[in-house]
């Protein structure tokens, strides 16, 4: 059972959210605003939007600009979600992933340590390497940068007592996912238009987690005492193949067209990983609440009711 989060902590708190314009960032900012937080959203381009009291336009791979931002806001807490999110294996993505996922994290850790804040919550990924780092090969530029960012977080905590924790997210889905090329928005929108989605083999097994559950985990990670320096899996603890999820969407939508599996090549080095939810529950009192079918049903309903998405 989930332990209740002390939500009063958020009322009036100044919270800096990077990647606030993104899929998970939007859901997180809305929840924080509903709890009475003063949300400062960071974005590279000019934005507006509910849930954010003030937008800041900053490229977080710029060390000086990041320092200026953190000194100006003096946040009580920081949520770092901004990321170059492609899992592509292409070499042209090495430097963008390094800058967006690693440099931004190091710059924030340094600025937050200098300025001081109660908690900084980083966003890791199921794609990160596990085990003895020297022996494990990251599967993509994204995975390499995310793995290194978590290593820096451990170092900042150990050497400089930075109050950092990492949410290691598994495959997040839900309404209003911004990257429409991701599996669930792509398949849902194609089926709703009556078009057959073109897919890889669909055999990959994935741990899927609904976005509202992820936001609950973020709240727990910012408030639980004594967990600094550590990473926590945020997933469902269950695997379902891509094919199973796609066929559930076909059923929920009542689609007349069938997806085409195998029309795209599978990616090399795909890892199968399931979240250790028992460890997360014991450590922070969080566990997922939304069953896969319920999350998919809510997601389809949102796309049906939001034809502009």
Binding mask 38-67 for ligand NAP (x = CB under 6 A): -----xxx--------------x-------
Q: How far apart are CA 93 and CA 102, in angstroms?
A: 13
Q: Could you say which of 5, 145, 171, 253 contacts ligand NAP (CB under 6 A)?
A: 171
Residue 25 in the binding site for ligand NAP (CB under 6 A): yes
Q: Could you say which of 85, 136, 151, 200 contacts ligand NAP (CB under 6 A)?
A: 85
Note whether 211 and 26 are within 8 A (CB). Answer: no
Query: What CA dihedral angle connects 280, 153, 79 and 227, to 10 degrees?
Result: 40
Whole-number minimum distance, CB 223 to ligand NAP, in Å? Answer: 20
Q: Is 201 helix (H, G, I), strand (E, B) or coil?
A: coil
Whose Cβ is closer to ligand NAP: residue 90's or residue 159's? 90
Q: Could you say which of 153, 169, 242, 245 contacts ligand NAP (CB under 6 A)?
A: 169
Quote helix, strand, coil % in the chain, to nearest 5: 45, 15, 40
Cα angle at 98 between 16 and 73, to 5 degrees? 15
Q: Write out the two tokens for 223.
A: 């408030």
Residue 82 in the binding site for ligand NAP (CB under 6 A): yes
Whole-number minimum distance, CB 295 to ligand NAP, in Å? Answer: 12
Q: Which stretch binds ligand NAP (CB under 6 A): 106-114, 148-156, 171-179, 217-225?
A: 171-179
Q: By CB under 6 A, how many residues form the interface with ligand NAP?
A: 25
Report the 3 state secondary structure along 235-250. CCCCCEEHHHHHHHHH
Whole-number minimum distance, CB 27 to ligand NAP, in Å? Answer: 8
Q: Could you say which of 105, 113, 125, 162 contacts ligand NAP (CB under 6 A)?
A: 125
Whole-number minimum distance, CB 66 to ligand NAP, in Å? Answer: 11
Beta strand extents in the chain (DSSP E only): 14-18, 38-43, 54-57, 77-80, 119-125, 164-169, 171-173, 205-206, 208-210, 231-234, 240-241
Residue 111 in the binding site for ligand NAP (CB under 6 A): no
Residue 232 in the binding site for ligand NAP (CB under 6 A): no
Over its C-alpha atoms, the chain yields an Rg (Å, rounded) of 19
The contact set with ligand NAP (CB under 6 A) reads: 19, 21-25, 43-45, 60, 81-85, 96, 100, 104, 123, 125, 169, 171-172, 178-179
């Amino acid at each position: 059972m989930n332990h209740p989060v002390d939500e009063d902590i958020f009322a009036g708190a100044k919270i800096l959210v990077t990647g606030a314009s993104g899929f998970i960032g939007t859901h997180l900012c809305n929840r924080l605003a509903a709890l009475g937080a003063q949300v400062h959203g960071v974005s590279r381009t000019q934005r507006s939007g509910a849930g954010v009291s003030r937008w800041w336009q900053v490229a977080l791979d710029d060390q000086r600009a990041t320092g200026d931002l953190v000194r100006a806001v003096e946040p009580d807490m920081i949520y770092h979600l901004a990321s170059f999110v492609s899992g592509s294996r292409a070499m042209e993505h090495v430097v963008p992933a390094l800058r967006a996922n690693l440099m931004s994290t190091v710059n924030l850790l340094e600025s937050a340590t200098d300025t001081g804040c109660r908690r900084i919550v980083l966003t890791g990924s199921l794609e990160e390497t596990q085990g003895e780092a020297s022996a494990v090969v990251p599967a993509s530029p994204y995975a390499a940068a995310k793995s290194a960012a978590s290593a820096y977080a451990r170092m900042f905590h150990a050497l400089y007592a930075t109050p950092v924790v990492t949410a290691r997210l598994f495959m997040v889905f839900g309404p209003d996912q911004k990257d429409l090329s991701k599996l669930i928005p792509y398949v849902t929108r194609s089926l709703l238009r009556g078009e057959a989605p073109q897919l890889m083999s669909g055999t990959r097994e994935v741990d899927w987690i609904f976005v509202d559950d992820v936001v609950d985990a973020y709240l727990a990670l910012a408030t639980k005492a004594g967990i600094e320096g550590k990473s926590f899996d945020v997933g469902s603890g269950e695997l379902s193949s891509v094919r199973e999820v796609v066929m559930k969407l076909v059923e929920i939508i009542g689609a007349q067209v069938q997806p085409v599996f195998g029309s795209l090549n599978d990616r090399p080095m795909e890892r199968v990983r399931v979240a250790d939810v028992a460890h997360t529950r014991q450590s922070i009192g969080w566990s997922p609440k939304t069953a896969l079918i319920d999350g998919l049903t809510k997601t389809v309903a949102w796309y049906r009711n939001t034809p502009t998405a």
